[in-house]
Chain A
Amino acid sequence: MSALDRYELVVGMEAHAQLNTRSKLFCGCAVEPGAEPNTRTCPVCLGLPGTLPALNREAYLKVLTLAVALGAELEPWTELDRKNYYYPDLPKNYQISQMYHNVGGGDERPGGTLELLRSGQRVRMHNVHLEEDAGKLLHGEAGTSTVDLCRAGTPLAEIVTWPDFRAVEELDDYMETLTQLLLLLDLSHCRMQEGNLRFEASVSVRPRGSAALGARTEIKNLNSYAAVRRAVQFEHARQVALLEAGKTPRQETRLWSEDWDPRGAKAARSFEQDVPEPYRAALPDVLALLPESPEGWRGRTGFMRSKEDAQDYRYFPEPDLPRLEIAPAEVEALRAALPELPGARRRRYAEQLSLPQKSAEALTRDRALGDYFERVLAAGAPVADAANLVLNQVGALLNERGLSAAESPVPPEHVAELIALVGELPKDLVLKQVWPAVIEEGCSPREAVARRGIEAVGTDAVRLATDEAWAKNPKAVADLLAGNKKAAGALVGAVMKATKGQASPQLVNARIAELLAQARGE
């Protein structure tokens, strides 16, 4: 048993999602990632003396919608608070955020749950709240930094879970589920590369069977799902290495450095810098616990600050903004308008529609494909066939053309019609001839059948054609009699050629079997 197995991994996730409103949270400046530095600013988001915040109500409603979707416990009102700290990318040197009365959930109030779309795991949410983003610092040469305030004041939803995760795989599921939920609710564009969605992981370990939580590390600078996975794996290894060496991890904030190469003398030095004993893990111990060898592994967490350095943010209610009343009628309206949540959809597919786990998952993960599937069902198709065709035939078509299901050239109603045709025409014929025709002709299956004169060859005709092929292909017959089963393929091919592909392969093969038996004198 590896050292890792002796400990339980405990992870909590914090996400910051930039809301997709047109303007910032407290002023009318446009939210525009990639704009020229300091061109999307005004006196308010620059924090000029005398300016005041004016709340973007749409941003607030988006966070309220999320809280409702998660089932968070709501209060009769919510309020913004000032989080005071100094940093050059924070023009007012305080951030308007929430602490005491989040839109949804808090220390004493449930923040709801998120049912994961692959596993069905129900993750407990701690809170969702509204806050403004800071600007960007760009570090230049010779220790200078420049400040770009275009992003300052962008509305954010901060989404925090309880530390309910026990494995790295669960994190992928969580991030994917949350992303899908945010897209469904039209909250954010969720493009991690553009900074629309940022994750931080809080990682601790404890001996298996222990109930107490170990000291946690908060990891920042995670810019992709892969980064989250690797950073958690690294921290898992680092903390276990410390514990195995008889030391105790302390509460720290650490930064993920993506490109760090574990090989070489400098690697150890850069890993250990700023970390005093007894909190410093030995690099070889850590490397031994990573899932990949040093040749393949890249990245490490690095010390940023410890709990002792932690700031006192001196939170107090924002006096420039009034309380926001949360009316029950408003909440009901938001709840009634919610789409089917990802976890609920997977559960319905698996439990009510009895789809196999993989199909349920695939149709949930690709929301547009799932919506397409729903429309095929609505057009009357039976569940199993619909799932099959959507995942296979439609899926292949979309894949080939790089389209999403919402852009499918074949509407779901045509897929339903195709399935209905299988009762009238051989299945193979339908899939191999009618389906391509539907795509190429851009018309309904019945229309395609008519246009191309597709018809199944009758049983008698199939039998005749097979007998003829048997007679005309003595070499194939001889091979078949000699035990080479593959020789049947040549015969089937000949029949298909003769019938222009309109013979049912089952019928052909059945007749070949009969003829074979006859020839063997059975």
Chain B
Amino acid sequence: MSDLRRDLHWESALTLAAQVRAGERSAREVTDAHLARAEADPLRAFLRVDAAGARAAADELDRRRAAGEALGPLAGVPLAVKDNLCTRGLETTAASKILAGFVPPYEATAVARLRAAGAVVLGKTNLDEFAMGSTGESSAFGPTTNPWGQGLVPGGSSSGSAAAVAGGLAPLALGSDTGGSIRQPAALCGCVGFKPSYGAVSRYGLIAFASSLDQVGPFAREVSDLGPTLDALCGRDPRDMTSADPGWGEAPFGRALSGATLAGRTLGVVREHLELVRDACVRARVDEAIAAARAAGAEVREVSLGLVDQATPAYYVVATAEASSNLARYDGVHYGLRVPGAGGIVELSARTRAAGFGAEVKRRIMLGTFVLSSGFFDAYYLNAQRVRRRVREAFEAALAGVDALIGPTSPVAAFPLGEEQDPLALYALDVFTVAANLAGLPGVSLPCGFTAAGLPAGVQLIGPRFGDPALLGLARGLEAALALPARRPEVAA
């Protein structure tokens, strides 16, 4: 019999689901409790809360339970969904003015699969506009705040999802990761964020930023919560031809979690990465995490991963190129914002895009258009793809003798909103995360302690392509080895 007196908002997803399935709590009770916090939302984690939809879904679960039906593994679990994932009948904006008012008539596969597992969608979370950013500051609707400090960035681009989970607004959230946008905010907000291998989770319904890099992935406060979540999310979708069937069998993540341990495992440390951590406290926490892994019985050896300085520029060339093409459809003609006025179609589109896109999005579209243009395509785009291939090969070599790489997620902890204005400096924050996207590898960030200023630090594990279940197992082992004392941010109710 679980302890119902514990504060509902800090329960794990697994616990809540078990309670709902067993009838100890109604889905409605769980939903209402979370809706109250979500609607208050001092962090601006949510762009919109769908109270009516959430209550209807919860009531349906309760009705089915009362009728004796078996409920899914995530029954009644409140879910926050990044607003670049399309939700049927619920406005989806990608945090951009150009999609304000856009209501998709269809749903992202990832969302549909979690709903099918019983999750209740609370609402849509804030992000950097079109997922382009690392701080949440380029949302057209105002930035999200880090639950651990007023006026601090939560990281990005999945800023709202990370803040919601870390701030006790939802036990589970969906985000997307193109260059680190799940892992980095997880590190800055102090929760767990998992980026699956490219192709493991369908991208259908994810508003595209960079097609060959984007992946959908979950946030939670505890690694175990990601077991049933990833089991529900992963798997080939005929609507996404880049999605794969990795042949993992039934409930691979649940199975990988049972008995998960670091004992006997081998981890690789990339020395070049550790040296790039700018915050001394973050560096210390990561070093301690590596020591804890050793203490738990893992062998930790140094590995070399060259090309550290080439991965980020290659990423920005490929990502912006694909983005410039993916965002061409926002032209004021078919849906979304249309800025009327005199002139023909060219003027219409130009006015609409000028008004509808923020500065960072415009910057990346121009950069991407440039690197694809005649005369520059070979030097930039083709070259970047060559570097990308070499990054992948370098990872394969580095991962050859180890189960996963361990290292920092972010070179810094959370910093004040508005402090970093230089786009290139912001791009450089992705240094530890972009390579996994370039190579299509799975990566997970989990909390490894706090800085002296009381801000979270994160440690990252990167596994081989389609080694996702084993990677989750390692994360669980590391989480257990770290055994961090429970600590919650003060978030005004």
Q: Which residues of A contact B (CB under 8 A)?
A: 43-44, 46-55, 82, 84, 86, 88, 91-94, 143, 145, 147, 312, 314, 316, 319-322
Residue of B108, B324, B325, B369 with highest tally of chain A CB at under 10 A: B325
| Interface: B63 (CB within 8 A) | no
Please indicate the chain A residues that have their CB under 8 angstroms from the CB of B346 in the complex: 86
Q: Which residue of A49, A86, A94, A321 is within 8 Å of B349 (Cβ)?
A: A86
B102 within 8 A of A: yes
B351 to chain A, nearest CB (A): 14
Closest residue to B322 on the A side, CB-wise? A319
Does the CB pair A316–B108 fall under 8 Å? no
Whether B381 and A50, one on each chain, are in contact in the complex, defined by CB atoms closer than 8 angstroms, is no
**Quick check: is B431 within 8 A (CB to CB) of the other chain?**
no
Q: Choose among A46, A51, A314 the residue that contacts B374 (Cβ–Cβ < 8 A).
A: A314
10 A-B contact pairs sorted by A residue (CB < 8 Å) = A44-B239, A49-B92, A49-B207, A51-B204, A52-B241, A55-B241, A84-B324, A91-B329, A91-B334, A314-B325
Output the nearest chain B residue to A89 by Cβ-Cβ distance.
B333
Q: Which residues of B contact A147 (CB under 8 A)?
A: 333-334
Known: A84-B325, A88-B345. A319 touches B334 (CB 8 A): no
Cβ proximity bits B263-282 to A, threshold 8 Å, 1 near / 0 not: 00000000000000000000
Contact partner of A94 (CB less than 8 A), chosen from B94, B204, B238, B328, is B328
- Inter-chain CA distance A93–B326, complex, in Å, is 9
Q: Which residue of B lies closest to A83 (CB)?
A: B325
Secondary structure dominating the interface of B = loop
Contacting pair A314 B372 (CB below 8 A) = yes
Separation in Å of the A317 CB from the closest CB of chain B? Answer: 9
B369: which A residues are within 8 A, CB to CB?
314
Chain B neighbourhood of A52, CB < 8 A: 203-204, 239-242
Tell whether A43 pairs with B106 under 8 Å between CB atoms, given A147-B333, A314-B374: yes
In the complex the two chains form, what is the Cα distance from A88 to B106 in whole Å? Answer: 23
CA distance A53 to B241 in the complex (A): 8
Residues of A within 8 A of B377 (CB): 314, 316
Q: Is B331 an interface residue (CB 8 A)?
A: yes
- Judged by a CB distance under 8 angstroms, whether B208 is at the interface is yes
Contact A321-B325, Cβ < 8 Å, known A49-B104, A314-B373, A314-B377: no
A312 to B106, CA, bound (A): 34
- Asked if B328 and A93 make an inter-chain contact with CB atoms under 8 angstroms apart, the answer reads yes
Q: How far is the CA of A299 from the CA of B377 in the complex (A)?
A: 41
* Contact (Cβ within 8 A) A50 B205: yes
Besides the known contacts A43-B104, A47-B329, A50-B208, 16 further A-B residue pairs in the complex with CB atoms under 8 A apart: A43-B106, A48-B86, A49-B99, A49-B208, A50-B108, A50-B206, A52-B203, A55-B241, A86-B331, A86-B345, A86-B349, A92-B329, A314-B325, A314-B373, A319-B211, A319-B212
Do residues B325 and A316 form an inter-chain contact, with CB atoms below 8 A?
yes
Of all chain B residues, the one with the shortest Cβ separation from A137 is B345
Contact of B372 among A55, A84, A319, A322 (CB under 8 A): A84
Shortest beta-carbon distance from A105 to chain B in Å: 22
Assembly CA distance A314 to B330 (angstroms): 18
Measured in the bound complex, the distance between the Cα atoms of B462 and A520 in whole Å is 118
Q: Are B373 and A49 in contact (CB under 8 A)?
A: no
Residue B105 lies at the interface, judged by CB distance under 8 Å to chain A: yes
Q: Inside 8 A of B322's CB, which chain A residues have their CB?
A: 319
Whether B207 pairs with A50 at a CB distance below 8 angstroms is: yes
Residues of A within 8 A of B211 (CB): 319-320
Find B329's partner among A93, A145, A321 (CB 8 Å cutoff): A93
Q: Which of B94, B207, B242, B325 contacts A322 (CB 8 A)?
A: B242
Q: Which residue of B lies closest to A318 (CB)?
A: B211
Please report the C-alpha to C-alpha distance between residue A94 and residue B326 in the assembled complex, in whole angstroms: 9
Query: Given A48-B335, A84-B325, A314-B373, A54 and B241 touching (CB < 8 A)?
Result: yes
Which residues of chain B have C-beta atoms less than 8 A from A314's C-beta? 325, 369, 372-374, 377
B364 CB to closest chain A CB (Å) equals 15
Residues of A within 8 A of B207 (CB): 49-50
Nearest chain A residue, comparing its CB with the CB of B105: A43
Residue B321 is within 8 A (CB to CB) of chain A in the complex: yes
Q: In the complex, how many angstroms separate the beta carbon of B104 from the nearest chain A beta carbon?
A: 7
Question: With the chains together, A315 CA to B175 CA distance in Å?
Answer: 30
- B441 contacts the other chain (Cβ, under 8 Å)? no
Shortest distance in angstroms between B448's beta carbon and chain A's nearest beta carbon?
34
Write out, one digit per residue, whether chain B residues 325-367 have a CB within 8 A of any chain A CB (1) or not (0). Answer: 1001111011100000000111001000000000000000000
Most buried by B among A53, A84, A93, A147: A93
Looking at A43, A50, A92, which has the most chain B CB atoms within 10 Å of its CB?
Answer: A50
A522 to chain B, nearest CB (A): 92
The reply to whether the CB of B85 lies closer than 8 angstroms to some CB of chain A is: yes
Q: Which residues of A contact B238 (CB under 8 A)?
A: 54
